[in-house]
């Protein structure tokens, strides 16, 4: 099932939370900064061993001091206006993150709104990609049964809610 929530993703007590990282996987601002601060320095140490991650792909680490057992780091596309494959890359972030969770036998995963902060992807189209991609992925039963989409702001939550209730 898909759930919507509003708040800080670092507080989510699920099997994994997803990080909207950059391709170095060495930390940054936004949700990435919040996750690294809450997880503690061991997270960065493990990330250093991974050698980065291309846009549209995902990598998994432990969650350290977070309530979540794992962090799945994915790298969303920078928005250039929509003509540089942004939609397919964003879709791939959700699919690859969920595939990785399933490979590790995880049951519950929380996502932030990938690419819609520093990377500039418009929230209206990014939320539609997030919801349709996750719904499609869940149609084929695997270990993941709960996906929670966590919006940081009230405004973003309303956009997501409008899409979910409008279907
Ligand atoms: N919990 C949930 N959502 C959050 C949180 C939080 N604690 N903090 C921010 N958001 P962004 P991006 C929301 O910029 O656009 C980093 O520097 C935020 O409101 O975190 O994918 C990385 O290192 C927005 O809706 O990620 C990369 O360099 C969403 O999370 C770059 O930013 C994504 O905003 C990635 O940019």
CA of residue 21 to ligand 1 center, whole Å? 8
For residue 132, give every residue at least 6 positions away whose Cβ sits within 8 Å of its Cβ, in sequence order, or none. Answer: none
Domain segments of the chain: what residues? 2-164
DSSP bridge pairs for 144: none
- Mutation test residue for ligand 1: of 36, 117, 129, 160, the one with most atoms within 8 Å of CB: 117
**149 in Cβ contact with 3 (< 8 Å):** yes
Å from CA of 115 to ligand 1 middle: 7
pLDDT tens, residue by residue, 51-94: 999 999 999 999 999 999 999 999 999 999 999 999 999 999 99
- Measured in Å, residue 111 CA sits from the centre of ligand 1 at 11
The 10s digit of each residue's pLDDT in 86-130 is: 999 999 999 999 999 999 999 999 999 999 999 999 999 999 999
Of the candidates 60, 74, 9, 3, the one whose C-alpha atom is nearest the C-alpha of residue 37 is 9
Give the pLDDT band (50/70/90) at residue 164.
confident
Residues 8-54: pLDDT tens digits? Answer: 999 999 999 999 999 999 999 999 999 999 999 999 999 999 999 99
pLDDT tens per residue across span 132-155: 999 999 999 899 999 999 999 999
Distance 76 CA to ligand 1 centre (A): 10
* 108 strand-pairing partners: 146
CA of 123, closest atom in ligand 1: 25
pLDDT band at residue 167 under the 50/70/90 scheme: low
CATH of domain 2-164: 3.40.220.10
For ligand 1, is residue 118 a contact (CB within 6 Å)? yes
Contacts 24+ apart (CB under 8 A), 123-127: 123/155, 123/156, 123/159, 124/159, 125/82, 125/87, 126/90, 127/156, 127/159, 127/160, 127/163
Global pTM value? 0.98
DSSP-assigned states of every residue in the chain? -EEEEES-GGG--SSEEEEEE-TT-S--SHHHHHHHHHH-HHHHHHHHTTT---TT-EEEEE-TTSSSSEEEEEEPPPPSSS-SSHHHHHHHHHHHHHHHHHHTT--EEEE--TTSSTT---HHHHHHHHHHHHHHHHTS--S--EEEEEESSHHHHHHHHHHHHT-
pLDDT of residue 165: 80
Confidence check: pLDDT of 162 > 90 = yes
Shortest CA distance to 68 belongs to which of 33, 109, 105?
109
Residue closest by Cα to atom 7 of ligand 1: 8
């Amino acid at each position: 099932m898909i759930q919507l929530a509003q708040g800080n993703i670092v507080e989510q007590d699920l099997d994994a939370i997803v990080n909207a990282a950059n391709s170095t996987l060495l930390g940054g601002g936004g949700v990435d900064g919040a996750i690294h601060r809450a997880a503690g320095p061991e997270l960065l140490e493990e990330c250093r061993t991974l050698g980065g991650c291309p846009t549209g792909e995902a990598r998994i680490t432990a969650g350290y001091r977070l309530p979540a057992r794992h962090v799945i780091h994915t790298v969303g596309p920078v928005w250039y206006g929509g003509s540089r494959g942004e939609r397919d890359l964003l879709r791939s972030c959700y699919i690859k993150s969920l595939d990785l969770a399933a490979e590790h036998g995880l049951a519950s995963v929380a996502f932030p709104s990938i690419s819609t902060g520093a990377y500039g992807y418009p929230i209206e189209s990014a939320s539609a990609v997030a919801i349709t991609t996750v719904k499609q992925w869940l149609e084929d039963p695997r270990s993941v049964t709960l996906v929670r989409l966590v919006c940081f702001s009230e405004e973003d939550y309303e956009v997501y809610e409008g899409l979910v209730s409008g279907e």
